[in-house]
Structure 1
Amino acid sequence: MAYSWSKIYESKVTTAEDAVKAIKSGDRIFLTGNCSVPKVLLKALVDRAEELENVEICHALTLGVTEYVAPEMEGHLRANALFIGPNVRKAVWEGRADFTPVLLSEFTLLFKKGILPVDVAFVHLSPPDEHGFCSFGIETGLTKTPAESARIIIAEINPNMPRCLGDSFIHVSRLDYIVPVDYPLFELPMTEGGPGELHRKIAEYIAELIPDGATMQMGIGAIPDAVLQFLYHKKDLGINTELFSDSVIDLSSGCGGLSLGFLQAGYRCLLAVDQDPKSV
C-alpha cells in the first residue's frame, strides 16, 4: 500500500510555477487562510497574474500576504473576502475587492451547495502518513469542504504543518498537483511584548467569575490571553472553542482535551496539537 500511494504522490509533485498554469481566466479559486495561507502558491499566481483575467479568489481571513490585492492586480485577480482582514480592507473600500458577509457556520455550505462553485482550491497540508493521508492541520474547519468541492486541488505539503487528528485528512490520490515547501507557518501574537498592566487587571477580575468545572469559549486578543494566565489554580476546566492562543497550552493538562476549529496563535500551540488525540 505504501508503494502504491508513494508512486501516486511522486507523480503529482511539481513546482508552484507549473502548478498555477492550471488556473484559467474566469476561474474561482478557494484559498485556505488564517495562519495556513499557502504563500508559495499565492506568489506564483501573482507572478502569472498578467496572463489572466477575472480570476476570483475566495477566502476567509488571510495573514501575511497583500500582493494579490495590490492595485496592479485589478482586472486580473479579485479577492472575494468572506471575512475582511487588515490586508484586504483597503482593496474592498476602493472597490478592487469584494466582501461576501456570511455566518461562520454557513461558510462551507456556500461551496458544498454550489452557491460558490470552486474551480481550483489552494490548500496547505502536512506530509502524508504511512497510508498516504495528509492533514489539513491548523485550518481544517474552513478548508476541507471547499477543497473537496473543487474541480482541481493544488496542495503545498509542508513538514511544519502539524497533523491535527479527527476528520481532518485528505488522501494524496485526491490531489492534482503537489508542491513541496518548507517554511514556518504564520503566527499571530496576541500582543507585542505580552499583556499590559490594564489587560492583566481586567483579566484578573474576569478570572474570578470562572468557577471550577467551567467549560470555556474564548476569543483571541490581549485580554482573553491574559485571563488564561489567572486560571492556574482552577480545577477541571474544559475548553470548547473556535479560537485560542498560546496561553491555553499551560492549562491543557487540566482540560481533558480540546475541541478546535482552526488555530491562530504561535509555535507552542502548533507543537501542542501535533498528533495529539485529545485535540480534535
Structure 2
Amino acid sequence: MPIADLLDRFRPGASVYLPGATGESLALAQALAADPDRLRGVEVTSCLLPGMNGVDYAGLAPDARLTVFMLPAATRESFAQGRVRLLPLAYSAIARHIAAAAFDVAIAHVAPPDAGGRASFGIAADFSPIAWNAARQRIAIVNPHMPSMRRGSSIALAEADLVVELDGPLVEVAPARPDATARAIAGRVAALIPHGAAVQVGIGGAPAALWAALGDHRGLRLRSGLASEELLALADRGALASDGHVAGIAAGSEGFYRTLADRDLIRFADTRETHDAGRIGREERFFAANSALEVDLFGQVNLEWQGGRPVSGAGGAPDFAAAGIGSPGGRSITMLPATAKGGTISRIVARLSSPSVSLPRNLADVVVTEHGVADLRHASLDARAEALIAIADPTMRDVLAEQWRSLRTAMA
C-alpha cells in the first residue's frame, strides 16, 4: 500500500499510538513532517525518550497534541505552549495506561514477515504489542531494515487493517563515553554484584562503564528494559549465562541490531513482563543499577528535574528499585557523581531541589558515588544521613553535616 493510505488514517479527532524509543519509524516521521496538515486535530501518544527521539509531533501542526511520559528536548517548546501532555508514570503504569487507552489507531513498526506471515517487533517490543491489542484500527509498517528477533514479540500481518512497506533507517543510539568518575563508580558497583546475578542497567556514563567492569563475572543474566551495545563485549568475555536474557528494546547501532538477531542472544518482551516488579522480585539476586541527578540525606532520589525544569521521567527506575529490594539476595543501586558543574555543586544534598520525588525514601537501598558506597536499606534517619555525607565530595561534607544538624533540630 502507498504511504498516502497510511497518512489518510491521521484524521482530526483521532487518537493515534506511535512507537517511540528505538521503535520510532523515522520514515513515517519524515512523511508527517513533509505533510504536517495530516496531524491537525490528532492526539498522538508515544513513549519518546530523551537522547533517542528528536521529533516533536505536536509542533508539526498548530492543533496537534502529544502525550509523552518523559520529555525529550525536541518537545520542550510544545510542552511550554501546552500542546504536550506529560504523564509522570513509571513504566509499569505506562503499560496499564496504554492497555486501557483503546486508541483509534495503533501503528506497529515491524520486520518483514516470516513464511508463516508473522512479523517481529524487532528491536522494540516495549509498548507496541500492548497498544496493538487494544486499538480499533491496526496499521503495520514493514521496514526491511528492522531485524526479526526469533524470540521476540510478533504479530500476524493478517490481523492488520493496513500494511505499508516503508524502507528507512532505524533509530540509532551512540554509545556513552564514560569518564574516569563514571569508571570509578562502576568499579564500586561491580564489586556489589555477585556471579550469577540477574542485572538491570540503565542509560548513561556510569551504566555504560558498569558493563565493562562486569567483564570478569560469570553467569550474569540480562533482566532489563534495555539492551545496549556494551552487552556484546560482555558476552564475548564469557560473563553472560548461556540463556535467560530478557529486554524490551535494544539501543545501539544498526550493526548491533543485526548482530543481536543473528546471535539470538535476547528474548524481547513487552513492558508488562520487563517491568513487572512482583515477578522480577521473586527471582533471586536481581540487581538494578540506575543513574540519578540528585540524592538527599533522607535517601530520596531525583531522576527527572534539573534547574527546576523537567528533563526526563521516572522511567522504569521505580519498578526496578522495588524489584531489587524484594528480590532474595538482590539490591537496588543508585549511581551518581558526587558533584556537578566542575565540582561546584554537590549532587548529595540535604533536601532535594526538585518539586517532586522520583524514588521515595522507602525505596532507598544502595547509593554509590566515586567516593564510596552508602547502604541505606536498614539504616535509621541519622545513619542514612551519615552514610550519604560520607560518600559526598570531601569539600561538601562539612556543609552537608551542618545542614543535617539544622534539619534534625527542626524535627524535635
Give the TM-score taking structure 1 as reference length.
Answer: 0.84
Match of 1:145 in 2: 130
* Greater mean alpha carbon deviation, residues 78-87 or residues 31-40: 78-87
Q: Identity across aligned pairs (percent)? A: 26
**Cα separation, 1, equivalents of 2:213 and 2:102:** 46
Match of 1:125 in 2: 110
**Cα separation, 2, equivalents of 1:65 and 1:174:** 30
CA positional deviation for 1:237: 1.6
- Which one-letter code corresponds to 1:120 in the other structure? V
Compare the two structures and name the one with the higher strand fraction. Answer: 2
Aligned: 1:270 with 2:257: yes
- Which one-letter code corresponds to 1:238 in the other structure? R
Q: Match for 2:43 among 39, 56, 69?
A: 56
- Structure 1 residues 160, 201: closer, same or farther in 2, change over 3 A? same
Q: Match for 1:162 among 143, 147, 155?
A: 147
CA positional deviation for 1:22: 2.2
CA deviation digits over 1:14-72, x for unaligned, max 9?
222232112221000000010111122233334444366421000112534325232x6
Match of 1:215 in 2: 198
Name the SS of the counterpart of 1:205 in structure 2.
helix
**Cα separation, 1, equivalents of 2:69 and 2:119:** 26
- Which one-letter code corresponds to 2:62 in the other structure? E
Aligned: 1:256 with 2:239: no
Match of 2:55 in 1: 66
Q: Match for 1:198 among 176, 181, 185?
A: 181
**Cα separation, 2, equivalents of 1:43 and 1:184:** 11
- Structure 1 residues 37, 51: closer, same or farther in 2, change over 3 A? closer
Counterpart contact for 2:69–2:87, Cα < 8 Å: yes
Kindly name which structure, 1 or 2, has the bigger radius of gyration based on alpha carbons: 2
Alignment of 1:26-65 (within 5 A): 26-50=13-37, 53-62=40-49, 63-65=52-54
Counterpart contact for 1:38–1:122, Cα < 8 Å: no
**Cα separation, 2, equivalents of 1:67 and 1:278:** 33
Counterpart contact for 1:220–1:244, Cα < 8 Å: no
Structure 1 unaligned residues grouped into runs of 5+: 1-13
**RMSD of the alignment, in Å?**
2.2
- Structure 1 residues 210, 136: closer, same or farther in 2, change over 3 A? same
- Structure 1 residues 95, 196: closer, same or farther in 2, change over 3 A? same
Match of 1:86 in 2: 73
CA positional deviation for 1:125: 0.4
- Which one-letter code corresponds to 1:157 in the other structure? V
- Structure 1 residues 50, 184: closer, same or farther in 2, change over 3 A? closer
**Cα separation, 1, equivalents of 2:54 and 2:28:** 12
**Cα separation, 2, equivalents of 1:99 and 1:132:** 37
Aligned: 1:181 with 2:166: yes
- Which one-letter code corresponds to 1:73 in the other structure? A
CA positional deviation for 1:210: 2.2
Give the TM-score taking structure 2 as reference length.
Answer: 0.59
Q: Match for 1:110 among 83, 90, 97?
A: 97
